[in-house]
Amino acid sequence: MIEIVIKYAKSMLTTVLEQHAENTKDAITGAARDMVGSAIAGRRTADEWAEIIIDGVDEIKDKVIAEDGLSFIGGKLKFALSPKNLKKVLVSFELYFQDENGQWQKVGADSNLNSTNFTAEALREMESRGEISFEVEE
């Protein structure tokens, strides 16, 4: 069952990111078309992206707990500049669980977003710190 959840996790993360990136693109296009503000209006901070993505991560966490009977231990949601393409931000999460025998299980996924979906400040922070991470809570 955990393999199915891992596939679902990747699909969910990609869907959430694409949906919100498209909304950001629409905001940028609308702002340019209406001559109201600049492209910055459509950019989000890492905190704002974390708020958007965490609902989907929580959904996966709850699914693993309900369907596989695992205990949630902790997790992280991370944002980092892609080492392969600096115009992309790698968004990833890792969730750690234990089964009734104390065996560890990890569920995670990653996907890319265009760096233009992030504020300049968020990109500078990723560059200087290597990554921006958030704890996934119970």
pLDDT at 4 over 90: no
CA 4 to chain CA mean position, Å: 19
Cα–Cα nearest to 53, from 82, 86, 12: 12
* Rounded Cα–Cα distance for residues 73 and 36 (Å): 46
In degrees, rounded to 5, the angle at the alpha carbon of residue 17 between the alpha carbons of residues 16 and 22 is: 105
Q: For 15-70, how does the pLDDT look when each residue is reduced to its tens digit (9 = 90+)?
A: 655 554 444 334 333 333 333 333 444 688 999 999 888 888 888 888 888 888 88
Contacts 24+ apart (CB under 8 A), 128-132: 130/80, 131/78, 131/79, 131/80, 132/46, 132/78, 132/79, 132/80
Instruction: Please tell me the total count of domains within the chain.
Output: 1
Task: Supply the range of the domain harboring residue 79.
Answer: 2-136
- pLDDT top residue among 24 and 91: 91
| pLDDT on residue 70 | 87
The stretch 102-123 carries a mean pLDDT of: 89
| pTM (2 d.p.) | 0.72
